[in-house]
Amino acid sequence: MSPFSFVTFLLGLSLATAINLSDLTTVYEWPEKIEYDWPSETFKTKVFQDTSFELNGIHPRFMAVSPERIFLSLAGYRGLPASLVSIPTNSTSSLPPSLAPYPSWEMHRKEICGTIQSASGLEVDKMGRLWVLDNGSKKCNAKIWIFDLANSDKIQNVHEFSFRLGLHDLVLDETPDEWFAYITRFEKGHIVIFSLKTNKSWLLDTPGKSFLCLALSPKQETRMLYLGRLESNELYAISVREIRDRKRTAHPKLIGKWNQAPYRMLMDSAGVMQAAFFQKKYTSTWNTSLPFAEQPFIEVETLDSRWPFSFASGTSRNLWITAFNWNAKPKYRLLKAGPGLRSYLYDASKFDCLEGCHKEHGYCSRPGECLCKVGWKGNYCDECHPYPGCVNGTCNKPWECNCEASWEGMLCDKILCSETCNLEHGSCVAIGECLCKTGWKGKNCDECQPYPGCTNGTCSQPWQCNCAAGYHGKLCDLEDE
């Protein structure tokens, strides 16, 4: 592994608050070639015999990450046996990994329209699904493929468009009950919208303008779709409300100009956008909460390829970057920067709360905060709210009022006396204290009060004086003869 000397910090780290650049690490390096994970020598030989494919020509285009895998769509100037591949995010081997066609070799067959023809933009959503744009081919229409990563990479949906070619990149917009994909298609003067719920797609015309790359603002704001114009440094924006409303024409507004024409943009969960530019050895950022201002971000030593970088972020706090250099060694690098922020698909708030803040009962709108959902309280939102008015009770779930010892009632506001207190002849005034009605006495108010002055008599009801054997008289004070 080479030292990390290729990283140049153009500006103070304060600008790069989303990522600590000193944490940029090389995950893998491929000095000259990148190899496929060929199923057999025979297969490999056949590919080289039957096609003009050259390993030399491969370069990464788009990238998406899941916790276990990196997905790359590839371009190759002499064709490719598979345009979508995966590599592990970490590996125990000292050799760089080979490219495993995704989901299998079987799913990459030329002009077989039930297979992937030419993968382009990729995205992994928070449900663990991989969305793949497929440019199509001579015979096959363009498609959007959705794979279930947690479920043996099963195809969850495949939507076929009525056209071929031109698909570039996509972003995913999650609403309370829908998932939309917004897709750029170059040179066409429209963007393509796909609704997963209805499994339908339509075109949103953008008269006079074609867009190449795109980025979506994070969930917590009024969502904006940012669009980089084709072969231009102009950056446009449009509110997603217009798109979700299924309008057919839109007029995105010019909001700024990069120094160069970008081919790829990416947003993080705090609204900081990153962009990479054709044939430029750096990426730039813009904090979308502020007026447009381009800040240099990462610079990698001379990169002369047209499309030097790709980047992706997902649920982990890492930003993954591929750097590609035609004429240098290493030719390919996979770099990782972090810890930073998650992608725009994730709620920044959900993950940056006060440490210890309860994962289900707490939330936050800024880092370090811990706000409680209804029914919960405490610094970490891990204490339930008892039923309102509950006096001497506790809860395990919100709105319970489970009485502590000696208390009872809906609100646990009634004292439970000793169990032996006779409630017919007495009542509870304090814990264990039994207050007797007139005519009764004793700890439990179960002894009657005899007639005052009764000497040698007893009672079974108040004020009686039933004489003991050998006595008589009203007060049983007279001895029998």
Ligand X SMILES: *[C@@H]1O[C@H](CO)[C@@H](O)[C@H](O)[C@H]1NC(C)=O
Judged by CB under 6 A, the residue of 104, 199, 249, 302 near ligand X is: 199
Could you tell me if 300 and 308 are in contact, meaning their C-beta atoms sit under 8 angstroms apart?
yes
**Is there binding between residue 293 and ligand X (CB under 6 A)?**
no
**In the bound complex, what is the minimum distance in angstroms from residue 255's beta carbon to ligand X?**
15
**In the bound complex, what is the minimum distance in angstroms from residue 454's beta carbon to ligand X?**
10
**Is there binding between residue 270 and ligand X (CB under 6 A)?**
yes
**Is there binding between residue 166 and ligand X (CB under 6 A)?**
yes
Burial 126-156 (b: 16+ CB within 10 A, else e): eeebbbbbbbbbeebbbbbbbbebeeebeeb
**Is there binding between residue 118 and ligand X (CB under 6 A)?**
yes
**Is there binding between residue 13 and ligand X (CB under 6 A)?**
yes
Build a one-symbol-per-residue string for 318-357: x at contacts with ligand X by CB under 6 A, - elsewhere.
----------------------------------------
**In the bound complex, what is the minimum distance in angstroms from residue 476's beta carbon to ligand X?**
8
**Is there binding between residue 92 and ligand X (CB under 6 A)?**
yes
Contact window for ligand X (CB under 6 A) among 19-27, 228-236, 327-335, 435-443: 19-27
Q: What is d(CA 217, CA 238) in angstroms, rounded to the nearest whole number? A: 11
Choice between 120 and 422, CB closer to ligand X: 120
**Is there binding between residue 391 and ligand X (CB under 6 A)?**
yes
Stated as kind and residue range, the H or E segment containing 35 is none
**In the bound complex, what is the minimum distance in angstroms from residue 40's beta carbon to ligand X?**
27
Could you tell me if 82 and 71 are in contact, meaning their C-beta atoms sit under 8 angstroms apart?
no
Q: What is d(CA 291, CA 179) in angstroms, rounded to the nearest whole number? A: 29
**Is there binding between residue 422 and ligand X (CB under 6 A)?**
no
Judged by CB under 6 A, the residue of 35, 148, 160, 446 near ligand X is: 160
**Is there binding between residue 151 and ligand X (CB under 6 A)?**
no
Q: Looking only at residues 393 through 412 of this chain, which bind ligand X when binding is defined by CB under 6 A?
A: 404
Judged by CB under 6 A, the residue of 135, 269, 284, 343 near ligand X is: 135
- Residue 292's φ and ψ, nearest 5 degrees, are -55, 125
Could you tell me if 284 and 274 are in contact, meaning their C-beta atoms sit under 8 angstroms apart?
yes
Q: Which residues contact 190 (CB under 8 A, 6 or more apart)?
A: 203, 204, 205, 206
CA atoms 314, 318, 324, 330: torsion sign? negative
**Is there binding between residue 175 and ligand X (CB under 6 A)?**
no
3-state class (DSSP) for residue 473? coil
Could you tell me if 449 and 459 are in contact, meaning their C-beta atoms sit under 8 angstroms apart?
yes
Judged by CB under 6 A, the residue of 1, 4, 11, 22 near ligand X is: 22
**Is there binding between residue 465 and ligand X (CB under 6 A)?**
no
3-state class (DSSP) for residue 344? coil
State the DSSP string of 430-443.
Answer: ETTEEEEPTTEEST
**Is there binding between residue 67 and ligand X (CB under 6 A)?**
yes
Q: What is d(CA 297, CA 321) in angstroms, rounded to the nearest whole number? A: 13
**Is there binding between residue 283 and ligand X (CB under 6 A)?**
no
| Residue ranges binding ligand X (CB under 6 A) | 13, 17-18, 20, 22-23, 61, 67-68, 75, 89-90, 92, 118, 120, 135, 157-160, 165-167, 199, 270, 272, 287, 289-290, 391-392, 404, 455-456, 468
